[in-house]
Amino acid sequence: MEKEPARRYQSVTALAEDIERYLTLQPILARPPSALYLLRKMIRRHRIGFAFAAALGAVLAAFAVTMAVQAGRIGRERDRANQEAATAGEVSEFLVRLFEVSDPGEARGKTVTAREILENGARRIRQELGDQPGVRARLLHTMGRVYRSLGLYAESRALVDEALAIQGGLSAPDSPDVVPTLYELGSLLRIAGEYGEAETVFRRALETAETRLGPDHPEVARVLNGLGTVFRKTGRFPEAKAALRRALEIDEGSYGREDARVAQSLNSLAAALADNGEYRGAEPLYRRALEIREKALGPDHYDTAQSLDNLGILYQKLGDLERARSHYERSVAIREKVLDPDHTVLATGYNNLATLLGEMGRHEESIRLLERALAIHEKALGAEHGDVARDLHNLGNRHLERGDYGSARRFHERALSIREKAQPPDPIEIAASLEALGSVLVEMGEYAEARRRLERALPINEKVLGAESVDLAWSLTGLGDVLTRIGEYERAGEVLERAVSLREKGLSPDHQDLAWSLFYLAALHHKTGDLSRTREVYARGIAIMERALGPDDSSVAFGLNGLAAVLAALGDEREALSGYERALRINEAAFGPDHPDVARSLHGIAGILKERGDYPGARERYERALRIREERLGRQHPDYVETAAEYADLLRRMGRQGEAPVPGPAPGLPIERTRSALRTGAPRPEVGGEPSLVAAGPVGAAAGGAVDRVGRGPGRVLLQTAAAVPGCPFPAGPPWESSRPAAPGPDFRSCAHGVPSWERGGSRPESIPSARGGKGPSLPRSNPLAAEKPPLAFRSGSPPRTPKPPRQAPRPFPGGGSGRG
């Protein structure tokens, strides 16, 4: 009988029915208690015990599941480790067989080069490992890396592409196995100047590494270094600094602060800061990288040379040239020991050292190194590579400084062409070429063309570098010089003051680049008649240049010529003559006897001797200056025209007017037409010490400073041209007249600068008042070639030459480094 009422028969009838079902073999309702029923009853009687048992069972079940999963994972990792071990073993065995070729018994007495070993290895990889794609891909990637380190980029690219194709067939596209190979491909694309494609590859590698390896994995830092370098090369400095700072943090967290692998991230970040003009922030990073590498790798390691080179670049930018030289020379010595003589990294080292030597006035040594670097780069990279453009740019600057303007122009035009065709173009490199070409054109007297290129360069640099970058001062100084030469003094003053301000804020007070901007600001003050201020600014620039480069550098002579001119204008002929003679000695020692800067000093000395009545001494110097200027600049150049006019005045004083030289004719016009084209109008009162009436000749080179200030005040301007002048709205033919109440506009300047010579009109010789109230030499109206003396700024010397051309920044070495490939 069941204890629970609900489980008993409810009546006698129910019991009888169940008996009937049993007798007729039907299922009966009565049942013994089920196991579930009994279990339920037991659980109710022992609640705590069964709760503990249930919890224990759940834990055991979870443990069993976890162990099963772990076992599967361990199995997979074991299989992967076994596979890696097998691959490593195959790789090691293959490398042993590969280097058997260097065994004397195998080489049979021949010297075996690294390239021969690699070529043999690439061939054997394809022949012997066809059935082992994983091993083959690993070896192809590794050998591609080695090819890149040897500067054999085409061979490296072929192997890396093949390795990537194999890896793509073996694993998923986002497998971590492809990250190192993608990094290698991105590096090759960056070296080739294909920055857009390089960025795409690096971004793919970064996404894969972050997803599959984690955001703080060292491989992520490696890829960030590559991507940050692409950003730096394309002028995207905020993105570059962010990527490279993150890479540095990951490396320091992974390896510690003193590991050699950290030095690469330090180098890369420092290069980005330096390229953005943040020199003071870059120096401690470069120094720390050098200290790490010297300690971890040794003083003669390849990567130590990299850090030395980068510090040399930085010290050069900071104006510490001797310190830069010692770092460059040590770096080159290390690389010459460890690299093939045709390696592109060695060529870049030559280029950097050559840039410095040129800046130090050692031009012949600089040119030899640059020609060697150019030959290496053209052979390894082709004639249209960015590194070839860099060599051409620096060669152009060296020839400009030597006074070989034709060669300088050809080098810079070719460099600009290469850079403009690059995909994508590097805006900073293009701007550097525009600035340098503008410098050459100024020296050649082509002011309109120079201005066009300099005005194109300035907004590029402002956009990329920022309006407060110290490197912007190169563009500003060059443009300010051109504006001064064509008479736009107000704007020239704004531009040059800005250049000086940027350099005062961004450079040391004794930096030579600051002196250059001061020299051109002084030239502007001279043109506007502020002689006291001119002398002060020239003296400051000379003092800085002497401290930076020494008292006998050609850059000091540049300032001395300018200061001598203003001293002559102030009546201190003794000091002026001393300055010119010192500048002459320096320039002859630096450039030889036939440089245009030598002619500049000779011209100034001759002017002082002429005023003293030493006509034979003046004649000797004028004739030498004329010869140099004719040979180097041509007879249409403003400097030649100026010296010819001064010499003509000397000959008039000596009673030998018939011997006066004749400036060259305009293109396509005979000398007779050039002579007859000059006309004069009626004399007019002078305005502010400047003539307001000029006559113009045929088309030719720019007339230089001589006409810059003509017509600045109210008055009548009369011009005549024998042929159309580019940029001049007035046709050739009879004289035309223009009354202007204020400064002449660009139309007037275009016309005035399109002629080779000019003179103030008048019916008799007259004197031109100077700022100090004295009288200049008389000019005979009968001699149209005895052109009026130029404005006071160049009273006893030619206009200063264009600012020292913006050097092509030495190339840093952010790549390389131990463990980085």
Among the residue ranges 141-145, 355-359, 609-613, 641-645, the one predicted with the least confidence is 141-145
Both tokens assigned to 103: 């065994």
| Res. 38 pLDDT band, cuts 50 70 90 | low
For residue 805, the model assigns a pLDDT of 45
In the block, residue with structure tokens 């891909």: 137
**CA distance linking residue 387 with residue 402, whole number of Å:** 23
The dihedrals phi and psi of 10, each to the nearest 5 degrees, come to: -85, -15
601: number of CA atoms within 13 Å, CB side? 25
- pLDDT, one tens digit per residue, over 450-461 is 999 999 999 998
d(CA 567, CA 574): 9
* Percent residues over pLDDT 90 in the chain: 38
Query: What is the b/e burial string over 406-419, where b = at least 16 CB atoms within 10 angstroms of the residue's CB?
Result: ebbbbbbebbbebb
Q: What are phi and psi of 760, to 5 degrees?
A: -80, 135
Task: Give Cβ neighbours of residue 576 (< 8 Å, ≥ 6 apart).
Answer: 564, 565, 567, 568, 604, 608, 796
Alpha-carbon separation of residue 14 from 8, 24, 29, 48 (angstroms): 10, 16, 9, 40
Please report which confidence band the pLDDT of residue 793 belongs to, taking 50, 70 and 90 as the band edges: very low
Q: Do the Cβ atoms of 642 and 798 come closer than 8 Å? A: yes
Residue 724 has pLDDT above 70, yes or no: no
For 333-348, letters b (16+ CB in 10 Å) and e give ebbeeebeeebbbbbb
What length is written for the chain?
821
The confidence band for 18, taking pLDDT boundaries of 50, 70 and 90, is low
Using one digit for the tens of pLDDT, what is the confidence trace for 677-691? 332 232 333 333 333
Q: What is the mean pLDDT of the chain?
A: 74
Among residues 171, 181, 179, which one has the least CA distance to residue 139?
A: 181
Query: Is residue 16 pLDDT above 70, yes or no?
Result: no
Q: Name which residue leads in pLDDT, 726 or 541.
A: 541
Work out the number of other CB atoms within 10 angstroms of the CB of residue 609: 21
| Cβ atoms of 437 and 470 closer than 8 Å | no
Residue pLDDT, tens place only, 514-573: 999 999 999 999 999 999 999 999 999 999 999 988 899 889 999 999 999 999 999 999
| Overall average pLDDT of the 84-97 stretch | 50
Q: What's the one-letter identity of residue 740?
A: R
Between 138 and 491, name the one with better pLDDT: 491
Task: Specify burial of residue 365 (Cβ count, 10 A radius: 0-12, 13-18, 19+).
Answer: middle
The CA distance from 579 to 601, in Å, is 9
**CA atoms of 579 and 295, how far apart (whole Å):** 51
Residue 244 has pLDDT above 90, yes or no: yes
The structural domains of the chain, ordered by start, are 341-402 (1.25.40), 442-551 (1.25.40.10)
Backbone angles phi, psi at 35, to 5 degrees: -60, -40
**3 state DSSP class of 456:** helix
H/E element holding 695? Answer: strand 694-696
C-alpha triplet 607, 612, 618: angle, nearest 5°? 45
d(CA 813, CA 305): 10
Between CA 756 and CA 763, with CA 761 as vertex, the angle to 5 degrees is 135
- Tell me the range of 93-102, 239-248, 662-671, 761-770 where mean pLDDT is highest: 239-248
Contact 300, 321 (CB under 8 A): no
Cα–Cα dist 618/622, whole Å:
6
Asked if 251 and 258 count as a contact pair (C-beta separation under 8 A), the reply is no
> 473, 426, 487: which is closest to 196 by C-alpha?
426
Q: What torsion do the CA atoms of 691, 692, 693, 695 make, to the nearest 10 degrees?
A: 80
pLDDT digit string (tens) for 354-363?
A: 989 988 878 8
Stronger pLDDT, 105 or 525, i.e. the higher one: 525
Band (pLDDT 50/70/90 cuts) for residue 781 is: very low
Asked which of 197-211, 345-359, 594-608, 712-726 is least confident by mean pLDDT, the reply is 712-726
Residues 478, 438 contacting (CB under 8 angstroms): yes
- What the block records as the tokens of 800 is 């200063």
